[in-house]
């Protein structure tokens, strides 16, 4: 019953060290830009000391990594993958809700488990979920099914190797990591190099920085690119702040980056503060540039919320400005008012975004009026 596609399985463990030959998960998931999560049959070793650590792997494989992003359509399926058959037990499935105004921002992520949440046919390349996957949430944000998996290639076995080495301070407040991956899969040769730093400034404040670059030859076409990000998070009892700078070249990546994240440079600050028991204030300011067209979007939003028992209301202001390469500008200045009241199993809600200036030119930020009702018909059934 050893997990190995081959006839041999060996695993050695001692304290904080282990080494195995068999089915493995590369496990390079600590970072974002240098993430490399695949499943092979080969060699892997890990060590976690007080200050030093490493993860290394090597495998000869005829597999290729695939990533599909499918929009939910309100049903349980069937949803069809772009490649079939797929390698058994190689898939990773999650549901992502993305911001309707900026699809590069993931609002929530839910990882799913095989058999418990879905069934997959590895021969046909189809997946069926145990419950429907909506196309949008109640705030009209799009819902995506993200599936990462392995499929067989027509070439022979090729070497795939890599790892991450890290060094941390004695109190683990600072960590420096280096990642390298060499993938020689026929028709998709590529390599990745990345450096990352984590600094726990204090119990409430975390600073992360990362730089990575990739070089690939996909179907005989060479492409390369780099990406970097700096992120600061501060979480206290009354104030949460997140600030980040992020840039991802169009040619960067080994298939793990969302298509909506490539080719953009972003700078943003998000904050949430609790003024009192019932009042809270949210705000964000962001700048985004399309690296290919040099189009720019400026966005500033602020919202004051009041929540008490089953009643809530909000008042907000939004400024959105798009600057295009040909000199055209499209602006929207809006005031937003919302109210919600719970009556037992019934919740009534209404919101309005009205223009402060004469026009709402930005198509992503129009003036609109929304009324809604949510009714809990049964324990597991809601009418929206």
pLDDT, mean of each 10-residue run, the chain (384 residues): 85 94 89 89 93 94 86 91 86 90 82 93 93 87 92 80 95 95 84 96 95 88 92 94 94 80 91 93 93 91 94 94 87 92 94 82 83 89 84
72 and 131 Cβ atoms separated by less than 8 Å: no
Given a contact cutoff of 8 angstroms between Cβ atoms, the answer to whether 147 and 93 are in contact is yes
d(CA 219, CA 230): 33
Instruction: Tell which residue, 281, 313, 317, 312, has the closest CA to residue 300.
Output: 317
The CA-based dihedral angle spanning residues 117, 121, 122, 125, taken in that order and rounded to the nearest 10 degrees: -100
The predicted pLDDT at position 100 comes to: 80
Cα–Cα distance measured from residue 231 to residue 147, given in angstroms and rounded to the nearest whole number: 26
Number of neighbouring beta carbons within 10 Å of residue 66: 19
Give me 377's structure tokens.
């018909």
Please give the Cα distance from 19 to 44 (Å, whole number). 6
Residue 94 to residues 284, 302, 364, Cα–Cα distance (Å): 27, 31, 26
**What pLDDT score does 375 carry?**
93
* Cα distance between residue 142 and residue 106, in whole Å: 10
Closest to 192 in 3D by CA, of 26, 19, 348: 26
Residue 361, pLDDT score: 77
Residue with tokens 């419950």: 131
Q: d(Cα 44, Cα 36) in Å, to the nearest integer?
A: 14
- Determine contact, residues 333/316, Cβ cutoff 8 Å: no
Closest CA to 296 of 346, 342, 237, 362: 362
149: number of Cβ within 10 Å = 27
Helices (H), the chain: none
> What is the sign, positive or negative, of the torsion defined by CA atoms of 169, 210, 230, 244?
negative
Tell me what pLDDT residue 93 has: 94
**10 Å Cβ neighbour count for 209?**
15
Q: What is the pLDDT of residue 64?
A: 81
Distance CA 20, CA 271 (A): 45
pLDDT of 209 reads 97
Are the C-beta atoms of residues 247 and 227 closer than 8 Å to each other? yes
CA distances from 374 to 97, 107, 336 (A): 20, 21, 21
pLDDT at 84: 87
């Amino acid at each position: 019953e050893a997990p190995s596609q081959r006839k041999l399985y060996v695993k050695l463990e001692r304290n904080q060290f282990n080494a195995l030959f068999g089915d493995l998960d590369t496990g390079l998931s600590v970072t974002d830009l240098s993430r490399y999560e695949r499943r092979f049959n080969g060699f892997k070793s890990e060590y976690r000391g007080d200050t030093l650590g490493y993860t290394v792997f090597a495998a000869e494989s005829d597999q290729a990594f695939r990533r599909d992003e499918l929009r939910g359509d309100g049903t349980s399926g069937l949803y069809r993958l772009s490649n079939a058959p797929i390698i058994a037990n190689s898939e990773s499935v999650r549901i992502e809700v993305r911001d309707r105004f900026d699809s590069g921002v993931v609002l929530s992520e839910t990882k799913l488990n095989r058999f418990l949440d879905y069934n997959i046919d590895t021969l046909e390349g189809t997946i069926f979920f145990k419950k429907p996957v909506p196309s949008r949430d109640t705030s009209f944000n799009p819902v995506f099914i993200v599936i990462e998996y392995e499929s067989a290639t027509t070439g022979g076995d090729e070497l795939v190797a890599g790892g991450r080495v890290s060094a941390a301070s004695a109190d683990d407040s600072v960590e420096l990591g280096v990642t390298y991956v060499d993938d020689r899969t026929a028709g998709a040769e590529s390599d990745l190099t990345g450096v990352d730093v984590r600094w726990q400034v204090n119990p409430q404040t975390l600073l992360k920085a990362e730089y990575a670059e990739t070089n690939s030859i996909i179907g005989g076409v060479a492409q390369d690119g780099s990406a970097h990000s700096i992120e600061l998070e501060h979480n206290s009892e009354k104030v949460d702040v997140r600030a980040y700078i992020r840039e991802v070249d169009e040619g960067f990546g080994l298939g793990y980056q969302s298509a909506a994240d490539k080719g953009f440079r972003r700078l943003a600050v998000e904050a949430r503060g609790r003024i009192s028991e019932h009042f809270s204030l949210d705000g964000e300011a962001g700048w985004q540039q399309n690296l290919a067209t040099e189009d720019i979007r400026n966005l500033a939003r602020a919202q004051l919320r009041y929540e008490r028992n089953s009643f809530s209301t909000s008042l907000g202001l939004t400024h959105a400005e798009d600057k295009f390469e040909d000199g055209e500008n499209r602006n929207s200045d809006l005031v937003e008012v919302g109210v919600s009241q719970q009556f037992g199993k019934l919740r009534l809600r209404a919101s309005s975004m009205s223009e402060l200036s004469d026009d709402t030119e930005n198509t992503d930020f129009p003036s609109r009026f929304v009324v809604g009702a949510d009714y809990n018909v049964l324990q597991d059934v809601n009418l929206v």
